[in-house]
């Protein structure tokens, strides 16, 4: 018997053909492996038996008590009031046992006046205690000890034999079968050193633990195993990529770059910006294709870094593109890049879904001939007719909004694959980055441009509106601009629109002396562009919008971000939105509006925003609240699936696993030592499963 054995072939198990069919249909359990991964969702603690006098300590919890049953009574008529009640007592104390729906035979089959063990959840109603639907066993018959697993199933399935006993027996038959072998992928010496169980033992105690502590230890072993294998895969993938992939070798930063730095740089770069440019340049000069992640909190100045890297590419005789997830963002990048390059001898253009046909064709031609040096755009860049003469660098902004496949298309736009720079403003906690991006080198801009003042963030309620509007008016008088953002209502575009347009009308009546623009996803492209342009060049002072402005929008004169129903937004969204202000030198404010009645998570999000502006701290809290799957998105994890590890919660295990693997590889880089053979086997096996990964992740 092995992991792939069909469940029907488990020796002496209660799984017959019909039940195997049901298990397959309702739980996708087909093989021994599937069954082992059907983990108990709780355990009944049968390790102690308590005297009834202690029942008070167990209200709301399950426990086992020793006593005697007497006086069986049926009370009430008809469901739901009809019930069966008995008294359960010992020398000092008595409680009731109650059944609401029960088979007739139960009435006469309760073991009266014998010592029995009763198990169940203790309930309390005005000072008297009871257990509903208890498990009862005669003391002498059966004295169960240890923890009993409870598996997920349903009443309907139980009536067809898929009950607790079936799961317990079948799984017991597997993990205690003398020929069942489940080799660990972790080398023996690692297990010994960390005092961890073997894998088979770990599975035994996942299902049948003696103590919860033992189960914890087993879980830890399985998590570490999973994590080390995943890190191992990333390690070899990275090595493979480094040794295989030929790329453009940009041998100098070029005159173009140097002249720009000397003559046209609009502000001195921060140390962090200089450092990451150096890192990226080094990477692009090696003759190997670069895949690098550039992380920097909102407002840290990634755009100019991207631009300077693009200049290096252009100076070296290649072309460059910058892809953004939304049209608004693409337009804004285009505007910034145009401004930065207006004195330079290079051609820049923009291509989006709304580019006119004639312009589009001209852009295609110029790209093909090499006369166009930098192309900014949206997904439209991926289309087939977009052919570069020689694409040297592709920058992808807000990379998490694109899928692996889309990036793969860019990768193939040139015979020699272009260098790829992924940019993200969503800070990724270290351990998550280790698990999801370990195969990508990362550059981090960990410093904001000088002169930024902290953004004062406050939480306010409806009753505060009069004073808030007075405050906003003061700021407007000083010449500042204001964003007011409404949540997207996911179920209904109509409702979202209604909220925003109501807000727009209201704000216009409150601030009649100012021009108020509206911006939301349902508007057509021209209307959107006009609204954005009017706000950006200062024609309008207030922008009422949905989260379409969430990413990247850059209007340094805006100093107030007011967010309506702030509790309806995710943390990283709030952080991104707040990042729209505090970009100029003015003191900026973020006002989070929320009603009294908000969820616990909503409260936590708002509190976090008021307490910190550090994107890394915020993303840690976000992870705690949401879990890593949601934060990273399934696209990010490729096909690596964790069954035990949760990178969001298990950061210590990720750190530990990283250290262990590093030590192993330091001594044995190719895992050739016989002691490391299990790990090599595990990595190979899982690598095959994960192979669907595209070349660039």
Binding site for Mg ion (CB under 5 A): 552
Please state, in angstroms and rounded to a whole number, the distance separating the CA atoms of residues 434 and 422. 16
668 touches, from ligand ADP, Mg ion, none (C-beta below 5 to 8 Å by class) = none
Sheet holding 419-424, edge to edge: 348-351, 374-377, 319-323, 391-396, 419-424, 291-296, 442-445
Q: Is 295 in the site for ligand ADP (CB under 6 A)?
A: no
Closer CB to ligand ADP, residue 313 or residue 329?
329
Binding part of the chain for ligand ADP, among 50-58, 174-182, 300-308, 398-406 by CB under 6 A, reads: 300-308
- Torsional class of 28: left (φ above 0), alpha (ψ -120 to 50), beta (otherwise): left
Among 317, 518, 289, 554, CA closest to 407? 289
427 touches, from Mg ion, ligand ADP, none (C-beta below 5 to 8 Å by class) = none
Please state, in angstroms and rounded to a whole number, the distance separating the CA atoms of residues 213 and 7. 30
Please state, in angstroms and rounded to a whole number, the distance separating the CA atoms of residues 616 and 629. 17
Among 625, 618, 627, CA closest to 650? 627
**Least distance CB 276 / ligand ADP (angstroms):** 11
Binding part of the chain for ligand ADP, among 51-59, 314-322, 377-385, 551-559 by CB under 6 A, reads: 551-559
Q: Give, to the nearest 10 degrees, the angle between helix 212-244 and helix 430-437.
A: 60
User: What are the residues facing 391 on neighbouring strands?
Assistant: 319
Q: Is 661 in the site for ligand ADP (CB under 6 A)?
A: no
549 CB contacts (<8 Å, ≥6 apart)?
Answer: 328, 483, 485, 519, 543, 577, 580
Residue in this structure with the two tokens 């590889």, named with its chain if needed: 665
682 touches, from ligand ADP, Mg ion, none (C-beta below 5 to 8 Å by class) = none
Q: What DSSP assignment string belongs to 12-56?
A: T-S--HHHHHHHHHHH---BHHHHHTS--SEEEE-S--B-GGGGG
Closer CB to Mg ion, residue 247 or residue 615?
615
Residue whose beta carbon is closest to Mg ion: 552
Peptide bond into 80 cis (omega under 30): yes
Which of 64, 295, 303, 559 is in the footprint of ligand ADP by CB under 6 A?
303
* Three-class DSSP category at 460: strand
**Least distance CB 556 / Mg ion (angstroms):** 13
Residue whose beta carbon is closest to ligand ADP: 301
Q: Which of residues 578-637 bind ligand ADP (CB under 6 A)?
A: 583
Q: How far is the CA of 573 from the CAs of 18, 604, 636, in angstroms?
A: 50, 14, 18
**Least distance CB 506 / ligand ADP (angstroms):** 30
267 touches, from Mg ion, ligand ADP, none (C-beta below 5 to 8 Å by class) = ligand ADP
**Least distance CB 191 / Mg ion (angstroms):** 46
Neighbours of 634 (CB within 10 A): 11
**Least distance CB 302 / Mg ion (angstroms):** 5
Closer CB to ligand ADP, residue 320 or residue 431?
320
Rg (CA), the chain: 32
What is residue 11's DSSP assignment? T
Which of 50, 176, 189, 267 is in the footprint of ligand ADP by CB under 6 A?
267
**Least distance CB 267 / ligand ADP (angstroms):** 4
**Least distance CB 162 / Mg ion (angstroms):** 53
Which of 521, 556, 629, 638 is in the footprint of ligand ADP by CB under 6 A?
556
Quick note: the x/- pattern for ligand ADP over 401-430, rule CB under 6 A, is ------------------------x-----
Q: Is 296 in the site for ligand ADP (CB under 6 A)?
A: yes
Q: Is 253 in the site for ligand ADP (CB under 6 A)?
A: no
**Least distance CB 188 / ligand ADP (angstroms):** 48
Closer CB to ligand ADP, residue 202 or residue 448?
448
273 touches, from ligand ADP, Mg ion, none (C-beta below 5 to 8 Å by class) = ligand ADP
Binding part of the chain for ligand ADP, among 301-309, 320-328, 376-384, 511-519 by CB under 6 A, reads: 301-309
User: What are the residues facing 42 on neighbouring strands?
Assistant: 150
Rounded to 5 degrees, φ, ψ at 68 are -130, 145
Q: What tokens appear for 297 in the block? A: 């909190």
- Burial of residue 562, with CB atoms counted within 10 A of its CB: 0-12 exposed, 13-18 middle, 19 or more buried: buried
Closer CB to ligand ADP, residue 270 or residue 657?
270
**Least distance CB 309 / Mg ion (angstroms):** 14
Q: Is 457 in the site for ligand ADP (CB under 6 A)?
A: no
**Which residues of this chain interact with ligand ADP, rule CB under 6 A?**
267, 269-270, 273, 296, 298-304, 425, 449, 552, 554, 556, 583
């Amino acid at each position: 018997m092995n992991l792939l054995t069909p469940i029907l072939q488990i020796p002496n198990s209660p799984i017959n053909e019909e039940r195997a069919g049901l298990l397959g249909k309702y739980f996708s359990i087909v093989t021994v492996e599937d069954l082992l991964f059907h983990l108990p969702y709780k355990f009944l603690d049968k390790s102690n038996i308590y005297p009834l006098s202690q029942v008070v300590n167990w209200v709301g919890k399950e426990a086992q008590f020793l006593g005697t049953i007497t006086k069986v009574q049926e009370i009430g008529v008809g469901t739901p009031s009809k019930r069966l009640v008995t008294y359960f007592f010992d020398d000092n104390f008595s409680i009731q046992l109650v059944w609401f729906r029960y088979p007739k035979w139960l009435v006469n089959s309760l073991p009266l006046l014998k010592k029995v063990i009763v198990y169940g959840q203790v309930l309390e109603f005005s000072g008297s205690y009871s257990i509903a639907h208890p498990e009862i066993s005669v003391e002498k018959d059966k004295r169960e000890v240890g923890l009993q697993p409870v598996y997920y199933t349903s009443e309907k399935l139980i009536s067809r034999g898929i009950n607790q006993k079936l799961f317990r027996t079948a799984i017991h038959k597997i993990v205690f079968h003398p020929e069942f072998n489940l080799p660990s992928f972790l080398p023996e010496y690692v297990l010994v050193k960390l005092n961890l169980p073997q894998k088979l033992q770990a599975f035994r105690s996942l299902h049948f633990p003696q103590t919860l502590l033992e189960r914890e230890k087993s879980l830890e072993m399985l998590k570490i195993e999973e994590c080390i294998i995943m890190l191992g895969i990333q390690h070899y993938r990275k090595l493979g990529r480094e040794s295989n992939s030929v790329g453009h070798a940009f041998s100098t930063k070029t005159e173009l770059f140097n002249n720009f730095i000397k003559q046209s740089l609009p502000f001195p770069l921060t140390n962090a910006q200089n450092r990451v440019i150096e890192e990226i340049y080094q990477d692009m000069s090696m003759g190997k294709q670069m895949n690098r992640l550039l992380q920097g909190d909102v407002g840290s100045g990634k755009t100019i870094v991207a631009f300077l890297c693009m200049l290096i590419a252009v100076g070296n005789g290649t072309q460059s593109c910058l892809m953004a997830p939304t049209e608004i963002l693409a337009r804004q990048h285009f505007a910034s890049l145009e401004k930065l390059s207006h004195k330079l001898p290079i051609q820049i253009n923009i291509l989006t879904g709304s580019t006119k046909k004639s312009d589009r064709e001209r852009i295609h031609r110029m790209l093909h001939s090499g006369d166009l040096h930098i192309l900014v755009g949206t997904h439209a860049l991926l289309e087939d007719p977009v052919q570069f003469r020689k694409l040297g660098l592709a920058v992808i902004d807000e990379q998490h909004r694109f899928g692996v496949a889309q990036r793969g298309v860019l990768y193939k736009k040139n015979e020699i694959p272009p260098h790829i720079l992924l940019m993200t403003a969503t800070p990724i906690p270290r351990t998550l980055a280790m698990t999801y991006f370990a195969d990508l080198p990362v550059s981090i801009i960990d410093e904001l441009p000088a002169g930024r003042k902290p953004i004062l963030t406050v939480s306010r309620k409806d009753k505060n509106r009069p004073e808030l509007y007075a405050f906003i008016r003061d700021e407007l008088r000083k010449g500042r601009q204001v964003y007011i953002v409404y949540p997207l209502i996911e179920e209904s575009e109509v409702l979202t629109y209604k909220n925003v347009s109501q807000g727009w009308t209201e704000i216009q009546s409150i601030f009649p002396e100012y021009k108020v623009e509206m911006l939301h996803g349902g508007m057509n492209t021209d209307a959107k562009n006009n609204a954005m342009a009017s706000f950006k060049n200062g024609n309008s002072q207030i922008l009422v919008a949905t989260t379409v402005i969430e990413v990247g929008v850059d209007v340094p004169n805006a100093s107030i971000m007011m967010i309506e129903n702030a509790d309806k937004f995710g943390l990283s969204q709030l952080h991104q939105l707040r990042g729209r202000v505090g970009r100029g030198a003015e003191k900026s404010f973020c006002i989070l509006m929320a009603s009294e009645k908000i969820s616990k998570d909503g409260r936590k999000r708002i509190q976090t925003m008021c307490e910190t502006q550090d994107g890394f701290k915020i993303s840690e809290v976000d992870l705690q609240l949401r879990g890593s799957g949601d934060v990273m998105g399934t696209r990010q994890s490729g096909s690596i699936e964790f069954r035990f590890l949760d990178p969001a919660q298990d950061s210590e295990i990720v750190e530990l696993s990283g250290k262990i693997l590093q030590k192993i590889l330091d001594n044995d880089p190719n895992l050739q030592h016989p002691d490391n053979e299990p790990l090599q086997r595990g990595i190979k096996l899982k690598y095959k499963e994960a192979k669907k990964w595209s070349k660039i992740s």
